[in-house]
Structures are given as C-alpha cells and as structure tokens.
Amino acid sequence: MTTSGDIDTFLEVFDSQFNLISSDDDSGVGFNALIEFFSDPDQIYYLRLRGYNIETSGDYSIRAVITSPTELRINTPHRATLADGTRHLYSFRSNERAIVSVETTGNTDTYIYVFDSYFNLLGTDDDSGESFNCMIEFLVEPNQIYYLRLRGAGGSSGVGAYTIRASVVPFDGRNNTRSRAVNIDNGATVVAFFHTPGETLWYRHEITNDQTNLTIQTWGELDTLLFLYDNQGNLLFEDDDSGQELNAYISAELNQGMYFIEIRTYGEATGRTTFHAETHTE
C-alpha cells in the first residue's frame, strides 16, 4: 500500500478484528507512506490514512499492489529484473530438515529478507555473496513454507537483472564434526552460520611446504573461538579474542600436512561469522 502526491501522509493497516498490523510515515517517495504486509485469502483489511499533523492538507493518491510469491525450486536458477522501488517475493519448501542457502548473482546490489510460514522475520542479508550480492543460510523444517523478499539495496546499483538460486544441505550433512570437515582453499573467505547453540563447524586446509605460516581468523559480530589441530587430531593452537573486537585469530608456522580447524561461538551464541584462511611461505 502506498500513497503518492506532495503531502506528508501517515498510513495504518488493521486486520479484520481491527488489530494494528503496521503503520508508516515516510517509507514511500518523498514524504509519502508505504507499507508491505502479508495478507491471508478472503480476509478484510482496513486502512486509516491521515496527514502527518493537523496542519497537513492536500490531494493524494493511494494504490494497492498485490504480489503472489514465485516458487523457488532447489538448484533451479530463477532470473528476474528489479526496477526502481520494486520488491520480488519468493516461496520455498523442503521435504526434510535442512540448511538452505539462497544467493543472488549478477551486477545488481541485492538485499534479502527471510520469513517463516507465520511471516516472522528469520534474517536479512545485504552483501555476503559475491560483489554486492546477497547470500543467506537458514534452517528449515520439513513441509513448511518459507518466504523470501528481495529488493535492490538502494540507488542505481540496486536496479537491474539478477539470478537467484536455492541449494539444500541435509542438516545431518553439515560440517559440524571433524570427519565432515570441508576444504578451505588458500586465501578463501567463507560465510559460516551457527544455527543451534553449541554447534561447531569444521574445515581442513592442506599445507604443501615446510615452514609455512598459516593465518586463520573470523570477522563479524559473533564472539568466536578457533582451534587448530594436526592430522592426528592433536590440538596445536587455540584462540578466543586476538582478532578484531571479539573475533578469534591464529597465526602459526607449520610444516607440510593436513590441518583441521574448528570454529565455535562463545556462550553457545548463534548467528553468522566470516572465516578466512591464508598461507605465506618464508
């Protein structure tokens, strides 16, 4: 629901029982109001519109646009184009408990929101993908519908073509044990998500020369811990807060071999961190 015109409008939306769903002042163009909300079929909704204050008067237009979600299928890229001020809505369903990764590719700066089947906001992301693309991971339960809302991040960079894709990893297939450690290449940066309290994530990195310096670190708002093990599972180094703010950082000189890296969060916190590994030979 949006207004247009030269006056400052204030809009409220109520359900059929007159419970307030949302209100807005200036999210539209200029001083116009704009509200997005999820609607149920065959339900009546009420709108109340006023000027921002008692001195506000003048002409306005009000418009309602209904968008039905596009189904996003696993590993099937969907291509679309964002116009200025538009939002695209997608739905997703999994047959199993899994970790879903959704990302966009292209030259458009994208921003994504994820909602559960009750339209509770689960998370948002701006630039975790390549360049200015969004990328987000979230835990889904079987046979539940989840909704994705995509928009441009603002300005001319948020207008243009993009491709959105969803991939699924079964929850019991996560790299949360040493035997399921995933390889991280030299210089690579990955986004790591902790979905449940006490969860650990494991990576492996192979060093091909002796006297090689390995630097591993996390970036982000989570308080992280890092542990570095040799190929036999012996703990070599550990760190809590040597990185920026509450992030972990380890720099160690190592010989040729396979090494394993464990990431944890302090106090069983959940959320997202960025992990980076890089080697340098003396």
pLDDT, position 24: 93
Q: Is the pLDDT of residue 84 over 90?
A: no
Gap between the Cα atoms of 221 and 227, Å rounded? 19
Domain definitions of the chain by residue range: 2-63, 70-172, 174-281
Is the separation of the CB atoms in 206 and 258 below 8 Å?
Answer: yes
What is the structure's pLDDT at 173?
66
Domains 70-172 and 174-281 share a fold: yes
CA distance 28 to 109: 20
CA atoms lying within 13 Å on the CB side of residue 106: 22
Identify whether the C-beta of residue 272 lies closer than 8 Å to the C-beta of residue 190.
no
Contact partners, residue 208, CB within 8 Å, separation at least 6 = 256
**Cα separation, 70 vs 167, whole angstroms:** 16
Q: Determine whether domain 174-281 maps to CATH 2.60.120.380.
A: yes
Q: Are 48 and 14 in contact (CB under 8 A)?
A: yes
pLDDT at 65: 84
Pick the closest to residue 135 from 193, 181, 94 (CA basis): 193
> Mean pLDDT: which of 95-99, 109-113, 154-158 is highest?
109-113
Q: What pLDDT, on the 0 to 100 scale, is given for residue 282?
A: 64
- For residue 170, pLDDT over 80 is answered with no
Tokens of 57: 């008067």
Q: Find all residues with CB under 8 Å of 198, minimum gap 6, and list them.
A: 268
Q: Which CATH class is domain 70-172?
A: mainly beta
Non-local (6+) Cβ contacts of 234 within 8 A are none
- Within 10 Å of residue 235's Cβ, how many Cβ atoms? 11
Better-scored residue on pLDDT, 236 or 36: 236
What confidence tens digit (pLDDT) does each residue in 198-253 have?
889 999 999 999 999 999 999 988 999 999 999 999 999 999 999 999 999 999 99
Asked if the model's pLDDT at residue 127 lies above 80, the reply is yes
Q: What pLDDT sits at residue 20?
A: 95
